Structure 1
Amino acid sequence: MNPRISLCICTYNRPVDLDKCLSSVYAAHPRPNEVIVSDDSADAQPAQAVVARYPGVIYQRGPSQGLGANRNACLRAVTQDYVLFIDDDVCVEPDFFARAVSVLASLPERTIVTGYELNHRSEPVCKVTPHNPDFWGFQHVLPLGDYHALVINSTFFPAALFESIKFDEKLRYGSDEIDVARHAISCGYRIQYSEDLYVHHYPSPVNRDEYQSYTEASRLYATFKAYWHYEKAIVKSSIFLLLAPPKLCLALVRRTGFRGCYAAFKSTSLALRYIMTP
């Protein structure tokens, strides 16, 4: 029997992008066995109107607590063997799921398979592949052996993984995919890369300013969490916590002037709040 796929789309105030996304999914053959849209939008009506044009899509209101919480809301509705999360500004090609089924059919147990995305933010289009994190949590290290990162828009997770882990709901935006990758590896899963799996990402400007306020705090928190919780490396996590905030401050000052100090302070304070909150 072919692997069965649940497609989860988290959306937030982007009905036009969502329509393009679902149109590409419904042009695919075969389609996913299940399509779930979880909507964090302030006004539900535009997204509901879009979803109504695509028979069989499961629509639900999201918890409006950020991307991590919305992904978990999707997971509560999943009933199939594998789970794919794509953003609402992503499109797939007609044979994407056919290629995915072929790859998934030969996967060993406890394996996550990830591909890449073609990012259309600017020309030329940028091919974004998984890069492992460096000490500071930036995903800059080209994997020469094991993969410790993934590109979530082209990643198929065994649904069984989410019986033991969930997305960290403190991560409203940013670093959620590296955190779930590290968590899965700590639970005995491995990540396999496939050149056959890719999607097109058309980054929407909607929500970007709001998202930007969380990005650095998420990186600081997720990296500390990886060293402290997954690796159990007390010295490493302590060194990171001591050095990462001043490094961030220096980087932001160089980029934006002295107002970067305030931005670094805000990000560090938010990261520390995440760390201290059970």
Structure 2
Amino acid sequence: MASIDICVCTFRRPFLAETLRSIARLDRGGHGVRVIVADNDEQPSARKLVADIAQELPVPVRYVHAPAANICIARNACLDAVDADYVAFVDDDEVVSAGWLMALLHTAGPDGPDAVLGPVRANYRADAPDWMVRGDFHSTFPVFVDGTIRTGYTCNVLIRWRAPFRSLRFDLRLGRTGGEDTDFFYRLRALGGSIGYAPGAWVDEPVSAERATMAWLVRRRLRFGQTHGMLLTGSPLKSLPVVAAKAAYCCLMTGLTLFSPVQRRRNWLRAMLHMGVAGGILRIRQAEHYGQTNG
């Protein structure tokens, strides 16, 4: 039987109670499970909520106060507290499915990938734009490049916590701008780690009104692109002409699909991604998104 520490970083989000209750309903398959909650607020605002919910959970819960308003501080506090064979991360605005953990463990297996990603299913409000629901712009899936997953995310992941990966920590410089998870998994692969995918390891994430806008999606794509641009190795400036060509092509396709509410927005967001990559290559300063009480 394996031991698993499930880590949840939180910042002033009452929905954390629903996340923890969903973990209580997990099929644990006889494995040893513990929950670590890292509170990233300046004041320990989540302490009472965690203490109250912990009484309902059939697994131990550890609360860690990890201020302030830098997601990497909270994630690193979780990693410092881990004492298990595996570490899992989910967000404090998600609900895990009953079979989530077992699906991740099944894919990991005794000799499987060192990190396993699961899908995040967006749950839209009744007043969300029709084009957004039909295009499903908020769900999260791994990106395969030539059949390989090159990086990952922390909203649904299981990591085999052994050397040399136990030395990994999240880069504090990215803790307010974002992209810290992309950077983390690039470094995991640089250490020889592999990343797999468990399509049955579902978590659900409600899309708030603040996120159900095109402006939010544009900011997100720009940030993704900037992170990838910053992490390019070799001579990244040589990639600029290719990146510019891709952005121009996506802009052209946006015009050609003008009468398709879903496709034109999808093409425009791809253009924003490539523009973000260019910004990352040129080291344009990223906007700070974390440490806010909304979105």
* Length-normalised TM-score, structure 1: 0.71
1:91 pairs with 2:95: yes
1:229-270 per-position Cα deviation (integer Å, ceiling 9, x unaligned): xxxx12xx124579979x79xx8xx99xxxxxxxx9xx87x9
Q: What is the distance in 1 between the residues matched to 2:76 and 2:179?
A: 15
1:87-129 per-position Cα deviation (integer Å, ceiling 9, x unaligned): 1001112232233333333443x62111211111454694531
Question: Hey, what does 2:23 align to over in structure 1?
Answer: 25
Q: What is the distance in 1 between the residues matched to 2:80 and 2:40?
A: 15
Question: Residue 145 of structure 1 is aligned with which of 144, 147, 169?
Answer: 147
Q: Secondary structure at the match of 2:198?
A: strand
1:9 to 1:94, Cα distance in 2 relative to 1, 3 A: same
> Structure 2: 5+ residue runs without aligned partners?
126-132, 256-264, 266-275, 287-295
Q: How many residues align?
A: 242
The one-letter amino acid of 2:156's match is S
Whether the 8 Å CA contact 1:13–1:42 is kept in 2: the answer is no
Question: Hey, what does 2:41 align to over in structure 1?
Answer: 41
Question: Hey, what does 2:195 align to over in structure 1?
Answer: 191
Whether the 8 Å CA contact 1:149–1:178 is kept in 2: the answer is yes
Q: What is the distance in 2 between the residues matched to 1:74 and 1:144?
A: 33
Question: Hey, what does 1:5 align to over in structure 2?
Answer: 4
1:205 to 1:187, Cα distance in 2 relative to 1, 3 A: farther
RMSD (Å) for aligned C-alpha atoms:
3.8
Q: CA deviation at 1:5?
A: 1.0
Q: CA deviation at 1:214?
A: 8.1
Question: Hey, what does 2:141 align to over in structure 1?
Answer: 129
Whether the 8 Å CA contact 2:38–2:78 is kept in 1: the answer is yes
Q: What is the distance in 1 between the residues matched to 2:69 and 2:241?
A: 29
1:119 pairs with 2:136: no
1:145 to 1:63, Cα distance in 2 relative to 1, 3 A: same
Whether the 8 Å CA contact 1:32–1:97 is kept in 2: the answer is no
Q: Secondary structure at the match of 1:128?
A: coil
1:19 to 1:42, Cα distance in 2 relative to 1, 3 A: same
The one-letter amino acid of 2:231's match is A
Q: CA deviation at 1:149?
A: 2.9
Q: CA deviation at 1:272?
A: 4.6
1:185 to 1:97, Cα distance in 2 relative to 1, 3 A: same
* Length-normalised TM-score, structure 2: 0.67
Q: Secondary structure at the match of 2:41?
A: coil
Q: What is the distance in 2 between the residues matched to 1:5 and 1:131?
A: 25
